[in-house]
C-alpha cells in the first residue's frame, strides 16, 4: 500500500515527521524543521508514527533508532513497506549499526548523535531534493511509456491496414497471415523467448506474405499446379515483401524475417538458400507456422491436407528443413496443449 503524500494540501510545502522518545530532542528538531519552512508532526514512538503516517502521511520521517517498543530500524522497514516516505535515522550508538545494513532497508540517510540542527537540515534538504528528482523522473518515464504505447498501437493499426489491403486482393489466403502470426507467437512463447521477441515474430507473421500483392491475381488464385515460370514469380514474394518493409524502422528485424520465411535450414529454401545458422530464429519460427497453417487450411487449388499431415510433415523434416527446437515447440502446442488457430 502506497500513501499519497499530503504536502499538496500544505500549500506544496513538504511535511516532516519527527520520531523520538526524548521530548527535548523531538521539539528541538521540530523547531529547526519549521524554521526551515517545512510542515512538521511529532511522535514519541514507532506506533504513534505509523498512525500519523496512516492518517496524513509525510514526505520524510526523521527517527531515532533506540526507542522503547519498536526501534527505528523496524519502523524504517515498515515505512518502506507501507508508505511512500523517505527515512533519516539518528542514533547515539552509531557503532552498533552498520551503514550498509541501514541503507539496505531503504533509509535515505543516517546521522550520529549529538546532532547539529544545521547539519540535519542540510541532509533533510538533500533528501527532499532527491525525492523531487525521483518523482519528476517517474512522471517523465510514465509519459514516455504512454507515448511509446500510443506509437506501438499506431504501428499495429498500420500493419493491420496493410494486412487488409493484401487480403482484399487475395481473399483465398484471407486470414492466413493472422493465423500464422498467432501460431508463430505461440511457438515463440513456448520456446521461452522474451515478450519483445514474441511481439516481433507476431508482427512479422502478420505481414509475411505482403509481397504477394505484387504477384498477378491469376497466379495467386490459380486452381491446380503452377508452371515453373509461375512458381518462379510466386517465389519472388519474399524479396518483394522485404523491399516493401525494409524502409520501415520496426523495433524488430521484420523485413529480414519476411525475406527469410521460406528458407530451410539445409539451404534448400529461397530466395537466398541460407543455412539454419544464417537465418533469423524468427524466420525459422515463421517457416514452421506457415507450413502448418497452409496445410491445415483450404486453398483454391486444393482442399485442406489437415493438421495431422502438417504435424507429420514437420516431424519428418525436423532438423532437416525445419529448426528442431521450433518443431518441438510447435508439436507440443498442437499435440499436447490443444492449440487452435
Q: Report in angstroms how near the CB of residue 290 gets to Fe ion at its nearest.
A: 6
Binding residue count for Fe ion, defined by CB under 5 A: 1
Stretch that binds Fe ion, among 70-78, 209-217, 273-281, 325-333 (CB under 5 A): 209-217
Provide the residue count of the chain: 341
Question: Contacts with Fe ion in 225-264 (CB under 5 A)?
Answer: none
Which triple of cell numbers denotes residue 297? 487450411
C-alpha cell at 276: 539454419
Part of the chain binding Fe ion (CB under 5 A), chosen from 43-51, 104-112, 201-209, 228-236: 201-209
Continuous segment of H or E residues that includes residue 290: helix 281-296
Q: Which is nearer to Fe ion, 190 or 209 (CB)?
A: 209
Q: Which CB sits closer to Fe ion, 15 or 284?
A: 284
CA distance 33 to 296: 74
Does 209 help bind Fe ion (rule: CB under 5 A)? yes
Rounded to a whole number of angstroms, the minimum distance from the CB of residue 180 to Fe ion is 9
Minimal distance in Å, beta carbon 138 to Fe ion? 45
DSSP 178: H
Q: Which is nearer to Fe ion, 36 or 238 (CB)?
A: 238
- The least CB distance from residue 231 to Fe ion, in Å, is 13
Of the candidates 6, 7, 30, the one whose C-alpha atom is nearest the C-alpha of residue 18 is 30
CB nearer to Fe ion: pick between 242 and 329? 242
- Residue 77 CB, nearest distance to Fe ion (Å)? 58
Q: Name the segment binding Fe ion (CB under 5 A); options: 100-108, 203-211, 217-225, 308-316.
A: 203-211
* Part in contact with Fe ion (CB under 5 A); list of ranges 3-11, 127-135, 152-160, 207-215: 207-215
Least distance (Å) between residue 240 CB and Fe ion: 11
**If 0-12 CB within 10 Å is exposed, 13-18 middle and 19+ buried, where does residue 323 land?**
buried
Cα 88-19-91 angle, rounded to 5 deg: 55
The C-alpha atoms of residue 85 and residue 135 are separated, in whole angstroms, by 12
Choices 27-35, 69-77, 108-116, 206-214; region in contact with Fe ion by CB under 5 A: 206-214
Using CA atoms, how far residue 184 sits from 22, 42, 205, 229, 336, in Å, is: 67, 60, 7, 30, 17
Q: In sequence order, what are the residues at sequence separation of 6 or more whose Cβ sits closer than 8 angstroms to the Cβ of residue 1? A: 82, 83
Nearer to Fe ion, 64 or 209 (CB): 209
Least distance to Fe ion, CB of residue 332, Å: 24
Residue closer to Fe ion by CB (options 117, 234) is 234
b/e 175-196 (16+ beta carbons within 10 angstroms → b): ebbbbbbbbbbbbbbbbebeee
CA–CA separation, 294 vs 141, rounded Å? 43
Q: How far is the CB of 176 from Fe ion (least distance, A)?
A: 9
| By CB under 5 A, residue 170 contacts Fe ion | no
Which residue, 59 or 209, is less far from Fe ion as judged by CB?
209
59 near Fe ion, rule: CB under 5 A: no
Rounded to the nearest 10°, the torsion over CA 117, 119, 121, 127 is: -150
Does residue 86 bind Fe ion (CB under 5 A)? no
Q: Which residue is nearest to Fe ion (CB)?
A: 209
C-alpha cell at 205: 507473421
Query: CB of 288 within 8 A of CB of 327?
Result: yes
Q: Is 190 in the site for Fe ion (CB under 5 A)?
A: no
Residues that bind Fe ion (CB under 5 A): 209
Amino acid at each position: 500500500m502506497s500513501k499519497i503524500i499530503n504536502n499538496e494540501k500544505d500549500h506544496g510545502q513538504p511535511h516532516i515527521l519527527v520520531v523520538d522518545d526524548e521530548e527535548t530532542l523531538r521539539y528541538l528538531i521540530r523547531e529547526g524543521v519549521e524554521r526551515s519552512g517545512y510542515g512538521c508532526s511529532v511522535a514519541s514512538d514507532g506506533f504513534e508514527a505509523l498512525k500519523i503516517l496512516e492518517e496524513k502521511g509525510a514526505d520524510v520521517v526523521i527517527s531515532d533508532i533506540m526507542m522503547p517498543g519498536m526501534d527505528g530500524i523496524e519502523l524504517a522497514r515498515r515505512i518502506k513497506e507501507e508508505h511512500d516516505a523517505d527515512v533519516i535515522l539518528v542514533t547515539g550508538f552509531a557503532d552498533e549499526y552498520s551503514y550498509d545494513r541501514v541503507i539496505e532497508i531503504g533509509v535515505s540517510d543516517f546521522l550520529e548523535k549529538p546532532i547539529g540542527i544545521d547539519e540535519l537540515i542540510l541532509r533533510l534538504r538533500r533528501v527532499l531534493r532527491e525525492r523531487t528528482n525521483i518523482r519528476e523522473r517517474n512522471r517523465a518515464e510514465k509519459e514516455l511509456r504512454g507515448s511509446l504505447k500510443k506509437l506501438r498501437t499506431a504501428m499495429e493499426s498500420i500493419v493491420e491496414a496493410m494486412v487488409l489491403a493484401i487480403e482484399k486482393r487475395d481473399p483465398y489466403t484471407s486470414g492466413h497471415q493472422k493465423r500464422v502470426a498467432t501460431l508463430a507467437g505461440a511457438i515463440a512463447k513456448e520456446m521461452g523467448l522474451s515478450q519483445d521477441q514474441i511481439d516481433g515474430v507476431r508482427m512479422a507473421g502478420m505481414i509475411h506474405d505482403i509481397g504477394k500483392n505484387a504477384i498477378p491475381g491469376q497466379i495467386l488464385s490459380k486452381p491446380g499446379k503452377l508452371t515453373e515460370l509461375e512458381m518462379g514469380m510466386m517465389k519472388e514474394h519474399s524479396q518483394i515483401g522485404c523491399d516493401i518493409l525494409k524502409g520501415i524502422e520496426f523495433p524488430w528485424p521484420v523485413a529480414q524475417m519476411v525475406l527469410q520465411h521460406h528458407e530451410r535450414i539445409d539451404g534448400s529454401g529461397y530466395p537466398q538458400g541460407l543455412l539454419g545458422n544464417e537465418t533469423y530464429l524468427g524466420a525459422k519460427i515463421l517457416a514452421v507456422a506457415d507450413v502448418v497453417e497452409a496445410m491445415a487450411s483450404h486453398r483454391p487449388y486444393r482442399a485442406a491436407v489437415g493438421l495431422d499431415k502438417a504435424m507429420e510433415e514437420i516431424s519428418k523434416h525436423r532438423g532437416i528443413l525445419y529448426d528442431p527446437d521450433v518443431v518441438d515447440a510447435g508439436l507440443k502446442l498442437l499435440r499436447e496443449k490443444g492449440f487452435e488457430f
